[in-house]
């Protein structure tokens, strides 16, 4: 596996790869890789000829008081996992390499509509940071395909809209969430949970499943379902940011006529902010 830290070196290598007619797949990450990330690598390997995984902890998507300074940095272990997964190239730039010397004056990308709700409401500017770094990586790598986890569902919709609006031409794949045996979605932030907190956090997924089951049985009072799930989490000592039943395509509040739904949750367990979702199609 190639390991590259400089933009110029990456461009040179990928230009040579493209010249041979090979397709390039991109897997952007912030490192501290787990089985969910490796599933993205596997999907990229099956859908492209040459896979680039980026490991970059993006400061633009962290707000004041968030966990940028303590976010786990495990580059050596990440590299070993990527090599074992047969990733072709690891791109691990410094902040200065990717953003230049003055990140405060960085041109940013704003995706309207999707970024002012849910996680965007409680984390102002977060999705501008996500869209900016992904746009940079798309322009730098020029991938044919890119792979993101469906756990970060709102992020995926933001990236897809940016990709279409800016005419970037990348085929964006959403890959199913990988879970622990309890149902807890895999996340780098799970590492900060104690055994008791990890067990308690599994209730997030249980509430998503229970809500989906009730909707399948015909219950359409989504506000009541949201409130019931929120109360269940709060009674378990889980501070809930939101628990929302939305239209899967645009994240607007679901109505009785909605058929393609996504149920999303964000909650605080200990020092970790955890997100998860379940999608369901009522026409199936």
Rounded CA-CA distance 43/25 in Å is 9
pLDDT digit string (tens) for 199-214? Answer: 999 999 999 999 999 9
- Has residue 122 got a pLDDT over 90? yes
* The two three-digit tokens of residue 232, written as one number: 């269940």
Does pTM top 0.85 for this prediction? yes
Q: Please report how the helices 75-84 and 35-47 are oriented relative to each other, as an axis angle in degrees rounded to 10.
A: 40
> Of the candidates 103, 105, 72, 81, which has an alpha carbon nearest to the alpha carbon of residue 190?
72
- Has residue 188 got a pLDDT over 80? yes
- Has residue 222 got a pLDDT over 90? yes
Q: Please report how the helices 153-165 and 126-141 are oriented relative to each other, as an axis angle in degrees rounded to 10.
A: 50
Mean pLDDT score across all residues of the chain: 97
Mean pLDDT over residues 265-280, rounded? 97
pLDDT at 114: 96
Write the CA distances from 13 to 7, 52, 89, 171, 208, integer angstroms.
10, 11, 10, 21, 44
Q: Please list the residue range(s) of the chain that carry CATH number 3.30.1300.10.
A: 188-278
From 1.10.3370.10, 3.40.50.620, 3.30.1300.10, 2.60.120.380, which CATH number describes the 188-278 domain? 3.30.1300.10
- Has residue 67 got a pLDDT over 90? no
Mean pLDDT over residues 20-46, rounded? 98
**Catalytic residue ranges:** 37
- Has residue 107 got a pLDDT over 80? yes
* Fold topology of 2-175: Rossmann fold (3.40.50)
Q: Please list the residue range(s) of the chain that carry CATH number 3.40.50.620.
A: 2-175
Rounded CA-CA distance 135/159 in Å is 9
């Amino acid at each position: 596996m190639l390991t590259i830290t400089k933009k110029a070196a990456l461009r040179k290598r990928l230009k040579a790869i493209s010249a041979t007619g090979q397709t390039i797949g991109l897997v952007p990450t912030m490192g501290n890789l787990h089985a969910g990330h490796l599933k993205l690598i596997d999907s990229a390997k099956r859908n492209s000829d040459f896979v680039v995984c980026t490991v970059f902890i993006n400061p633009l998507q962290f707000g004041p008081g968030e966990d940028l300074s303590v976010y786990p940095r495990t580059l050596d272990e990440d590299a070993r996992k990527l090599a074992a997964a047969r990733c072709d190239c690891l791109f691990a730039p410094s902040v200065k390499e990717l953003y230049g010397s003055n990140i405060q004056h960085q041109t940013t990308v704003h995706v309207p509509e999707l970024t002012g709700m849910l996680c965007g409401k409680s984390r102002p500017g977060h999705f501008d940071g996500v869209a900016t770094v992904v746009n940079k990586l798309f322009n730098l790598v020029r991938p044919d395909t890119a792979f993101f986890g469906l756990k970060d569902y709102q992020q995926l919709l933001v990236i897809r809209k940016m990709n279409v609006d800016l005419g970037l031409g990348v085929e964006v794949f959403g890959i199913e969430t990988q879970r622990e045996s309890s149902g807890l979605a895999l996340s780098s932030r799970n590492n900060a949970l104690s055994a008791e907190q990890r067990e308690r956090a599994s209730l997030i997924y249980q509430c998503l499943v229970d809500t989906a089951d009730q909707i399948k049985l015909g219950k359409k009072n989504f506000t009541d379902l949201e409130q019931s799930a929120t109360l269940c989490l709060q009674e378990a000592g889980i501070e809930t940011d939101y628990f929302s039943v939305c239209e899967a395509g645009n994240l607007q509040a679901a109505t009785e006529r909605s058929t393609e739904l996504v149920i999303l949750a964000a909650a605080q367990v200990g020092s970790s902010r955890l997100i998860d979702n379940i999608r369901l199609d009522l026409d199936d």
